[in-house]
Amino acid sequence: MRPDPLLTVSEWADRHRVLSSRASAEPGRYRTARTPYLREIMDCLSPSHPCRRVVFMKGAQVGATEAGNNFLGFIIHHAPGPVLAVQPTVEMAKRNSRQRIDTLIDESPILRERVKPARSRDAGNTMLSKDFPGGTLVMTGANSAVGLRSMPARYLFLDEVDAYPASADEEGDPVALACARMATFAHRAKAFLVSTPTIRGLSRIEREFEASDQRRFFVPCPHCGEMQWLKFERLKWDKGQPASVHYLCESCDQPITESAKATMLAAGIWRATAVAEDPGTVGFHISALYSPPGWQSWESIARLWEATQGSDDALRVFRNTVLGETWVESGEAPDWQRLYDRRESWANGTVPAGGLFLTAGADVQKDRVEIDVWAWGRGLESWLVDHVVIDGGPEHAETWAALERVLGQTWTHTSGAALKIARLAIDSGYESSAVYTWGRRMGVGQVSPIKGVEGFNRSSPVSGPTLVDATEGGKKVRRGARLWIVAVSTFKTETYRFLRLERPTDEELAEGLRFPAGTVHLPSWADSEWCKQFVAEQLVTVKNRRGFSKLEWQKLRERNEALDCRVYARAAAWIAGADRWPEAKWRDLEEQLAVVASTSEPQAGQVRRIARRPRRIIKFSGMQ
């Protein structure tokens, strides 16, 4: 019957929390004054605060995880109840339990008294479950639907929600599943959602933040006293000299050195910049610009920014982890005419010197199979080597026999070596059974049936393989084919980014400048239709039924086989391991082919418009 205490989470942390050297760079008693911007966030997590949902979108190294751990410690000590703490995966939950939760309990005497010590025969303290008087802490991964619906929960701590899978064991959004656990606790429930953001339109934490009151941390200028929230655009330094970094006040335009940051943080306040859709939700955003002295400095941020120039991947990481902002994927389709005009001329049927191995992508249609063969070099520089169309649908045995002959064909490298297709990825979206049967017959070493799914997954754009059922002659095969799942949006976006790369001029090539990593080289025989198909889609932002934005690839024209085949061939390169090969592997391939530097390749700078090479059509007698 005793009511919850008026003590706040930040006050509890200052009184009772001790940081361990195993989990903190600054061991000892916890001091909220070290990160003043966390005080109001933790106070909103206190039972005495009326909000039910606290959203924290942030950059790296700002102390968000420790704020969440203070929340858990406070619950165990002062406001017991069932708690569900969710990490992106079960494995990460186990690691977090060992590194963070165990040290939280062991180093704080007041918590050690309340959580049973770990014993082999005691179920009260296990890797993923901690019992305490009046409640229990259950830890799980967002990839486990069983863990997310295992118990009712008064409290939720959802960490790094942007790293959660789209669905937990095909049962739905993990965040929605977890939040459904709080239904019976009504106004007494409290959820803490934390994450660095990812991609605009796909980021869960950005969506939650935009539905909140969008609080920013305003700090005073040491010169004029004007309150403002820190923006990266106002961080200035001389190019190539990050040590000269300073911040320009929005009001008086005077330079602010980092030595003033500690004083500014101590006087900072949170201000709402929007009206929340749900009055029970409060949202906070902060970047690494606020990182306290001794952590991430403005100078290190300036150095990181200069190091990221020229790389979209590095810029994305910088925007996500340093600025705590989403990355906007640029999916605007390049002009097909520009691709057509910069086609290059090299000997038909040969692989240019920079190409070190071949992959192919096969798109199965109702009346034909289209195959594009791509050569890949260092940095995923690529050359379109061949385009083959096999007339005949997947119901004809002759179609698969012709595809098998393509698989056994060789292409001559400029060094004289004969190259075969290292791996062919074939789409199983149409007539899956026939694709699985042929793929199983060809063997897993050279053929990979794939299934494309919409969505982005930069860390692992291809997953699998998994065994799938197949039939042969109407009978179920005991061992199915091995299917790979491909996040096609990731490779489409990458392809468009590669197509927008600036190319060296003829003079720069003559001086030894190389093509940028990822450059896409198209041959002179690629006709206008193929070029149009290659850029036939565009990434657009659409709103779903709930009004939330998401990114979606939409066709600009009906036919897009060239783009699909490119994505499949790129997936084949990923399956072959090209994204993970060490330097020694690339050097070995070059030595085998006696490759010379790409600056001496015959195609460099020799872009001209000539009659295309006719595509090869494989027909069979008796077939329409």
CATH superfamily, region 9-321: P-loop containing nucleotide triphosphate hydrolases (3.40.50.300)
* Residue 366, pLDDT score: 87
At residue 270, the pLDDT reads: 96
Mean pLDDT of 583-597: 79
pLDDT in tens, 124-164: 678 888 999 999 999 999 988 887 876 889 999 999 998 88
Residue 96 above 50 pLDDT? yes
> What would the mean pLDDT of 552-580 be, rounded to a whole number?
88
Percent of the chain with pLDDT over 90: 36
Mean pLDDT (the chain) is 84
Q: What is the mean pLDDT of residues 505-523?
A: 85
Report the pLDDT value the prediction gives residue 329, as an integer from 0 to 100: 64
Domain ranges, ordered by start, for the chain: 9-321, 336-612
Tell me the backbone φ, ψ of residue 29, rounded to 5 degrees. -65, 135
Q: What is the mean pLDDT of residues 328-337?
A: 70
Higher local confidence (pLDDT), 243 or 203: 243
Instruction: Find the mean pLDDT for residues 365-374.
Output: 90
For 459-489, what is each residue's pLDDT tens digit? 678 887 887 765 555 566 666 678 888 888 8
In terms of Cα–Cα distance, which of 554, 579, 569, 561 is closest to 489? 554
Does residue 207 contact residue 276 with C-beta atoms inside 8 Å?
no
**CB neighbours of 562 closer than 8 A, spacing ≥ 6?**
372, 530, 531, 533, 534, 536
For 126, 369, 486, 499, 517, the CA distances from 569, given in Å and listed in that order, are: 46, 14, 11, 16, 17
